[in-house]
Structure 1
Amino acid sequence: MKKWKRISSIFLIAMILCTLTASNIYADEKGEKDPQQVLTVAFPETKGLQEVNEDGTYGGLVYDWLMEIAKYTGWKYEFVTGDVETMLSGMMEGKYDLMGGMFYQKEYESFFEYPKYAVGSSYCLLISRENDPEVKSFDISTLNGKTIGVFQNAKSKIERLKVFLESNQLNCKIKKYKDVKAYESCLDNGEADLMLSSDANLENLDAAYDVCAKFTAESYYIVTKAGSSEICSELSQAIEKIYEADPNMALELYDKYVSNTYTNSIHFSESDRNYIKESGTVRVAIIKEGYPLTYRQNKTLKGIVPDVLNLIQKQTGLKFEYVYANSYSDALGKIKDGKADIMGSYLNDAYQADIQQVVLTKKYAQLNTVIIRNRQSELSDKNLTIAVPEDMAVPNGEQNHKVAFYPTFADCLKAIDAGDADYMEIPSALLESLFTSNYYANVTPSAAGNEQMQISMALSSDFDVNLYSILNKAINSLSKKEIEGIIQQNLISSQISKPNLKAMLYSHIGAVIVFLIAFIILLVLVFFTIGRLSLKSKAMALKLEKAEEMAKAKSDFLSRMSHEIRTPMNAIIGLTSLTKKMDGTPEDVGSNLNKIDTSAKFLLSLVNDILDMSKLQSDKMVIQSEPFSLNKLIRQIEDIFTLQAEEKSLELSFSKAWSKDGFIGDETRLAQVLVNLLSNACKFTPEGGTIQCSVEEKSRNQTHASLEFRVKDTGIGIHEDDLERIFGSFEQLNQNEYRVQGTGLGLAISSNLVRLMGGSLEVSSRPGTGSDFFFTLDLPLADDIQTGCKNTNHMKSGKRLSEMHFLLAEDNDLNAEIAISLLELEGAQVDWASDGQKAVEMFKDSQQGYYQAILMDVQMPIMNGLDASFEIRRLNRKDAKKVAIIAMTANSFREDREKALAAGMDRFIAKPFEADQLIETLLACTTEGTE
């Protein structure tokens, strides 16, 4: 058995007051009344009386009284919370002005001042152990001879107990306890049969205890500290005025905060237990669709009746099955005909039950009613017709009117709507359901019903007494909280019938009209919009088609221009390279050749910049991801710019700081960015200046490294207003002291390339001090990369391609002559085919493995290089699949490279090319082929 929970603080206040001695009482009489007077209130937290909510706000019976009193006195309060003992001690010492929940005792007047009026009353309870066979709830005769445990300091309650026992001629033993804990345990340890408690403990009453008797205890007050007679007088006057305005104030607050209902265990007799064991299933007649009493939700039976019966089944062990009826009258008929044992929801009173020859149980719920009338009827008229469901009683006070019976409440409502009846009284919850599911144009609510509709269970006149007894005991055991919860759960709007289309339309007729007008307007707008969109779509299609044609024309133009410019440039660079290699070339001629070579390469850089910018603008630029050596790349760039820096007397330094070489990325584009930045630095840095190029590893993990690239110079710098503009296309700043050539695309291309590689090119600069360009890239790590040349024997010898045979397919005689000369200077033997068809035939006629590589131009007459490569790869000979085919073309777009690879080519060299580039590519291909 669970331990009895702690008694209420009201009870403790009285008991502790009896045991505590008074300390100094000091209170000063106050002068004139202060309308904004602030009083300190001792506020020990006590369930129902003085409550502190989770959010820090206050509540309870005493709090509500104080708030009402303040309306008459103008007082303000400062609440002090704590345990009961501390609050009492502080009140006795004069620390607080007010304290509520205090019982009256004459000897207490030396500690406190009591007002004339109490703010409520309490009740005493006698409680017993649950299922004690010798004690029955509220059967006073079973209390005779029992031992009652009481707390000895609760003298007032003990006196009232004695009066109760004497008036009921009960001879009981009263056992007093000095210790609270011993008192609380008296039932558990069997020392007492009953325990004297308080109604304030109903909320804490354990399920293991039953209430056996209840009688009036004593009143409680809001008291002031001793010596504060003026405050006490104001308090009395305020309470008097409150009672004059609302005589039921105390009772209302008691009902609001102090539970006055309780649930006892059920005591079944021997015959009850036998019936439960042998009865089998009890048949219950219910109305099939009778919201909120019974209804279906998602094919599951719901309602107040099934929920109540479920509780009864748990408490008694009875088993129920449902017999469905179409109406109230039909359900009543089923218990009379013996088709059901009980009717789940009987709505008439005992008088009507007697007429209908049925027996009622105790009511278990009640519903509010409302009067509904026809819009043309007035309830004050005399000749009215009231609609009533069949077998239901005419509401009290309505018997003088004509009565018309209909099968169901819904039929009654239809009759009123049709004008066949004038009004009816109906449960408000059922009305809400009917109004939602249908539309009644001529029906309107008129007033609240005369009384609540009581819900009971009904048995036939030849009922089984045991069943009746069990049902009544079970219904009595249901708590008010349980019943209210069931009713509330079944009245929520989500369980009301879904409205039909007619109800929806009529209940929102204004919205329907607005919707129809809006729909018509919308249709007009839609057709108009569709027409305009169709015209716009056609116009946009034409523009898109034109834009695509322009883009294609632009691409074709750039491709042709690239080819046409690169072809003669290939000849210029190739012949220049050949002439420079000749022995005995005069120094001035060599100087002129170097200038020609530089100018040709500058022209090539202009073409490359324009092509790169075109790719970037059309989103055709693709960043490659291939392993490369950053150490090798920086060394190559250092070789390129060292001589250039020396010619301008610039101090050029390179700083490299990373833990391990080998990265994955686009080596060519990264080199292009660094070359652009260094080229600008050389252009705009005066003689004697310094240029620093640094690469620093910022962080590294198992898969990636973060590298910062920086080019810093002491050049002329850039004005702050120009910092944003320098990354635009075709932008060149007006640096009067430096006349430089270029397209103004270098920084724009570099910025876009860095962005595509995942970084952001930034600059810090001031005029006269120099510029600092920097960006950071996160590069995946690659395995160690061999940075040297694989074919070391060839690199060491002067004839790097000696004893090698190559097939050259080139339709331009001059380009063919240059290529043959360059290769023969390296010791190679070259066979020349002037078109793709000849190249295929010459390879087909050659011995197996004769050619180490094929140099294939792409644009040639008769058969182009792509088709020729495809045909060679198709030949039925072993070396046709392995021989290296290198594309040599002036078309350098990405799609050109993809087409070459798709045709079976291995490498791609864009014209114009340098001799070393061609030789290194051939060495790489032939070395790979022999490994």
Structure 2
Amino acid sequence: MFLAFLVGNDASAVEDNLFEEQTVRLGYFYRPSFQEGMQDDEQKNGFGYEYLQKISYLSGWRYEYVYGTFETLFEKLKSGEIDILAGVRDTKERRGLVNFSDFIMSQEDGENYYICTAKRRTDLLKKLNSTLSLIDSTEPFFLQELTRKYRHPIKLTDEFPELIENFVQKHNVLKIGYFDNYLPYCDTLPSGKATGSMVDIMNGILSKVNLSDKIELEYKPYDDYSDLIKDLDSKKVDLIFPCSNESWFAEQNGMYLSRVVVDSGMNIAYLKNYNSSIFEKISVNKNNILQYQYTRAYFPDAEIVLCASIDDCLKAVIDGEAGSTIINSFRSGTILKNRIYNDILFQPLSTLDERCFGVRVGNPELLRILNRGIYELGYDFGINVSYNYTDGLYKYSIFDFLGDNIGLVLFCSFFVILLIVLFFIRRQIRLKKQTEKDRKTQFELQSASATAIFRMSTL
């Protein structure tokens, strides 16, 4: 507590030294999700806007907005007509014209974007760097959270039409490898046709970049994720899905990662009591590198129990061979509806499961096309279409039907048994009546026979 007090006081002292009310002329250009609201009385929002507001809270800056296109505002920054401008792409030429901050604001396809000040405003540059350093040390996840909120802060440049034209000249087919039996993301229908949100996302991307009638999509399923990566490396497929949004994973496997196309929460599935023991042994699908890497990354001390499928992972939990297994929330809610998993419980984990496309290193044109299409589709598209395929994870069996309709089943069973009992009772009554009738007939025959014999004996 004493250490926290010292750290808190130290941070407050830094903030006090930084904060000084000052009017700063801010160049403000329009980009969707980056800077919106192009009049003083129009509501503003976006990645860049919120980032600049965070800076103003700590520095004491009050912004005087100067509106215009990026090109016009950059010229004003060079001439000193404005003081700062956000979203400036780093180039060698620009480095000599304006002051770049020490901290990267955003990245787009390997290019860095910064907040810049006018060349003569070294005083503002110094305060800007101090403020950004404070944000980095006290709120290290601020940019990450802001990026997740707005997803795509800086839109691609206007060179895109030329990129599309060049790409189409070299490609008329895109070969997509995917991890099979992995709904809601991807799966294969009995007809052999690919299905899942992956198909909707790819169709949406091509539509957004006007390539639907120019490029054909070919899908190839893989049961083992390792084979998927190998075929990407050997150029048998052009891109793969899904990939984790992990830079280390991408570097080790020689691929570029696209923007995130869909994310979901992660759940830990376990039996009975939630305690530390369930993390000691975690079952993992041996064919699913994504699940393995996630488990290794967030539970490094756990013993991994390798299984042949996610169903076997859950069975291992039920049988006590593992304490738990990890499933994303799209899959867990529906898979666990299957009655054989009635005893399985789950709890949400604190991390998100982010999915991207993987593109082979050396194919940046395809990466830019994917990123542009994903940007145009918007953040919610991948999530919404994924929900359309979750039902395929639920295998409704005869046991599920019996369990869901236990009252009706018991009533029908009772009714059938009652009918059987009534049938046998009625049959017994009929048999009894028939027996009595037969006895009466036999008695009458015996009486008639005795009478006849008696009469004959008296003749």
TM-score by length of 1: 0.29
Of 169, 177, 192, 1:285 maps to 177
Aligned pairs for 1:357-506 (under 5 A) are 357-375=254-272, 378-380=275-277, 383-390=280-287, 391-392=289-290, 393-395=293-295, 396-436=297-337, 439-445=340-346, 447-460=347-360, 463=361, 465=362, 467-476=363-372, 478-479=374-375, 482-492=378-388, 495-501=391-397, 504-505=400-401
Separation in structure 1 between the aligned mates of residue 367 and residue 390 of structure 2, nearest angstrom: 31
Structure 1 residue matching 2:200: 3-state secondary structure: helix
Q: Which amino acid aligns with 1:345?
A: P
Structure 2 residue matching 1:449: 3-state secondary structure: strand
Aligned pairs for 1:47-446 (under 5 A) are 127=69, 145=75, 161-164=82-85, 261=153, 263-264=155-156, 267-268=159-160, 273-295=165-187, 301-314=194-207, 315=209, 317=211, 318-347=215-244, 349-375=246-272, 378-380=275-277, 383-390=280-287, 391-392=289-290, 393-395=293-295, 396-436=297-337, 439-445=340-346
C-alpha deviation, 1:442, in angstroms: 4.2
Structure 2 residue matching 1:500: 3-state secondary structure: coil
- Show CA shifts across 1:296-330 (max 9, x none): 67966443322222233231635431111224344
Relative to structure 1, the CA distance from residue 122 to residue 383 in structure 2 (aligned partners, 3 Å threshold; closer, same or farther) is farther
Q: Is the 8 A contact 1:388 1:412 kept in 2?
A: yes
Structure 1 residue matching 2:341: 3-state secondary structure: coil
Aligned to 1:517: 410
Structure 2 residue matching 1:293: 3-state secondary structure: coil
Q: Is the 8 A contact 1:144 1:170 kept in 2?
A: no
Identity of aligned residues (%): 12
Separation in structure 2 between the aligned mates of residue 123 and residue 330 of structure 1, nearest angstrom: 54
Structure 2 residue matching 1:420: 3-state secondary structure: coil
Q: Which amino acid aligns with 1:514?
A: G
Structure 1 residue matching 2:381: 3-state secondary structure: helix
Separation in structure 2 between the aligned mates of residue 486 and residue 145 of structure 1, nearest angstrom: 39
| Structure 2 gap segments, 5+ residues each | 1-29, 46-52, 54-59, 89-93, 99-112, 118-138, 425-459
Aligned to 2:11: none
Q: Which amino acid aligns with 1:414?
A: K
| Structure 1 gap segments, 5+ residues each | 14-45, 50-102, 104-117, 129-134, 136-141, 149-157, 173-211, 217-246, 532-931
Aligned pairs for 1:575-590 (under 5 A) are none
Structure 1 residue matching 2:270: 3-state secondary structure: strand
C-alpha deviation, 1:286, in angstroms: 1.1
Separation in structure 1 between the aligned mates of residue 189 and residue 63 of structure 2, nearest angstrom: 46
C-alpha deviation, 1:125, in angstroms: 7.0
Relative to structure 1, the CA distance from residue 256 to residue 271 in structure 2 (aligned partners, 3 Å threshold; closer, same or farther) is closer
Alignment RMSD: 5.0
- Show CA shifts across 1:128-185 (max 9, x none): 6xxxxxx7xxxxxx9865899xxxxxxxxx99834339x977879xxxxxxxxxxxxx
- Show CA shifts across 1:202-260 (max 9, x none): xxxxxxxxxx99889xxxxxxxxxxxxxxxxxxxxxxxxxxxxxx9xxx9xx9999998
Aligned to 2:7: none
Separation in structure 1 between the aligned mates of residue 173 and residue 150 of structure 2, nearest angstrom: 40
- Show CA shifts across 1:527-571 (max 9, x none): 89999xxxxxxxxxxxxxxxxxxxxxxxxxxxxxxxxxxxxxxxx
Separation in structure 2 between the aligned mates of residue 125 and residue 407 of structure 1, nearest angstrom: 59
Q: Is the 8 A contact 1:291 1:433 kept in 2?
A: no
Separation in structure 1 between the aligned mates of residue 339 and residue 230 of structure 2, nearest angstrom: 28
C-alpha deviation, 1:283, in angstroms: 1.0
C-alpha deviation, 1:428, in angstroms: 0.9
1:11 aligns with 2:39: yes
Separation in structure 1 between the aligned mates of residue 36 and residue 251 of structure 2, nearest angstrom: 46
Bigger RCO (CA 8 Å, 6+ sep): 2
Separation in structure 2 between the aligned mates of residue 525 and residue 48 of structure 1, nearest angstrom: 74
Relative to structure 1, the CA distance from residue 399 to residue 280 in structure 2 (aligned partners, 3 Å threshold; closer, same or farther) is same
Separation in structure 1 between the aligned mates of residue 154 and residue 317 of structure 2, nearest angstrom: 43
Separation in structure 2 between the aligned mates of residue 48 and residue 337 of structure 1, nearest angstrom: 47
Separation in structure 1 between the aligned mates of residue 384 and residue 183 of structure 2, nearest angstrom: 13
Q: Is the 8 A contact 1:365 1:454 kept in 2?
A: yes
Relative to structure 1, the CA distance from residue 349 to residue 169 in structure 2 (aligned partners, 3 Å threshold; closer, same or farther) is closer
Separation in structure 2 between the aligned mates of residue 278 and residue 352 of structure 1, nearest angstrom: 29
Aligned to 1:617: none
TM-score by length of 2: 0.55
Q: Is the 8 A contact 2:179 2:228 kept in 1?
A: yes
Structure 2 residue matching 1:451: 3-state secondary structure: strand
Q: Is the 8 A contact 1:328 1:389 kept in 2?
A: no
Relative to structure 1, the CA distance from residue 342 to residue 424 in structure 2 (aligned partners, 3 Å threshold; closer, same or farther) is same
Aligned pairs for 1:650-669 (under 5 A) are none
Relative to structure 1, the CA distance from residue 303 to residue 457 in structure 2 (aligned partners, 3 Å threshold; closer, same or farther) is same
Separation in structure 2 between the aligned mates of residue 529 and residue 473 of structure 1, nearest angstrom: 75
C-alpha deviation, 1:436, in angstroms: 3.9
Relative to structure 1, the CA distance from residue 213 to residue 336 in structure 2 (aligned partners, 3 Å threshold; closer, same or farther) is closer
Q: Is the 8 A contact 1:382 1:401 kept in 2?
A: yes
Separation in structure 2 between the aligned mates of residue 384 and residue 285 of structure 1, nearest angstrom: 31
Q: Which amino acid aligns with 1:451?
A: T
- Show CA shifts across 1:775-803 (max 9, x none): xxxxxxxxxxxxxxxxxxxxxxxxxxxxx
- Show CA shifts across 1:50-102 (max 9, x none): xxxxxxxxxxxxxxxxxxxxxxxxxxxxxxxxxxxxxxxxxxxxxxxxxxxxx
Relative to structure 1, the CA distance from residue 408 to residue 122 in structure 2 (aligned partners, 3 Å threshold; closer, same or farther) is farther
C-alpha deviation, 1:400, in angstroms: 0.8
Separation in structure 2 between the aligned mates of residue 362 and residue 434 of structure 1, nearest angstrom: 28
Q: Which amino acid aligns with 2:261?
A: Y
Aligned to 1:96: none
Q: Is the 8 A contact 1:313 1:320 kept in 2?
A: no
C-alpha deviation, 1:439, in angstroms: 2.4
Aligned pairs for 1:624-703 (under 5 A) are none
Separation in structure 1 between the aligned mates of residue 65 and residue 217 of structure 2, nearest angstrom: 39
Aligned pairs for 1:791-810 (under 5 A) are none
Q: Is the 8 A contact 1:375 1:442 kept in 2?
A: yes
